[in-house]
Structure 1
Amino acid sequence: MDDEASLLPRKLQAALEQALEQRNEIINQDSDSESDDEYNSLNSLVSEAFIRFFLETMGHYSLFITQNERGKRVLQREAFRKSVASKSIRRFLGVFMESQMFAGFIQDRELRKTRAKGLFEQRVDQYLEELPDTEQSGVNKFLKGLGNKMKFLHKRN
Structure 2
Amino acid sequence: MIDIVCSPTPFLIGLLSSSLPRLKELPVEEVLVVDLVNNRFLRQMEDEDSILPRKLQAALEHILEQRNELASDKEEETSPLNEVVSEAFVRFFVEIVGHYSLFLIPTEREERTLQREAFRKSVSSKSLRRFLEVFMETQMFGGFIQERELRKQGVRGLFEVRAQEYLETLPSGEQSGVNRFLKGLGKE
TM-score, normalising length from structure 1? 0.76
Structure 1 position 11 matched with structure 2 position 50:
no
Structure 1 position 108 matched with structure 2 position 147:
yes
The 1-side partners of 2:127 and 2:102 are apart by 21
Determine if contact 2:124/2:174 at 8 Å carries over to the other structure.
no
Q: CA RMSD in A?
A: 1.7
Paired position in structure 2 for 1:83: 122
Task: Classify the secondary structure of the residue corresponding to 2:123.
Answer: coil
Kindly provide the amino acid, as one letter, of the partner of residue 58 in structure 1. V
Task: Classify the secondary structure of the residue corresponding to 1:134.
Answer: helix
The 1-side partners of 2:51 and 2:167 are apart by 25
The 1-side partners of 2:150 and 2:111 are apart by 8
**Shift of residue 114 of structure 1?**
4.8
Structure with the largest fraction of helix: 1
Kindly provide the amino acid, as one letter, of the partner of residue 12 in structure 1. L
Paired position in structure 1 for 2:93: 54
Q: What stretches of structure 2 of length at least 5 have no aligned partner?
A: 1-44, 176-188
Aligned 1:1-157 pairs, distance under 5 A: 1-28=45-72, 30-31=73-74, 33-34=75-76, 36=77, 39-135=78-174
**Shift of residue 52 of structure 1?**
1.3
Paired position in structure 2 for 1:154: none
Determine if contact 2:114/2:149 at 8 Å carries over to the other structure.
yes
The 2-side partners of 1:14 and 1:126 are apart by 22
Task: Classify the secondary structure of the residue corresponding to 1:116.
Answer: coil
| 1:33-86 CA distance string (max 9 Å, x none) | 23x3xx211221111111111111111100001023444310000000000000
TM-score, normalising length from structure 2? 0.65
**Based on CA coordinates, which of the two structures has the bigger radius of gyration?**
2
- The percentage of aligned residue pairs carrying the same residue is 66
Determine if contact 2:104/2:115 at 8 Å carries over to the other structure.
yes
Instruction: Give the number of aligned pairs.
Output: 131
Task: Classify the secondary structure of the residue corresponding to 2:173.
Answer: coil
Q: What stretches of structure 1 of length at least 5 have no aligned partner?
A: 137-157
**Shift of residue 135 of structure 1?**
2.2
Determine if contact 2:112/2:150 at 8 Å carries over to the other structure.
yes
Task: Classify the secondary structure of the residue corresponding to 2:113.
Answer: strand
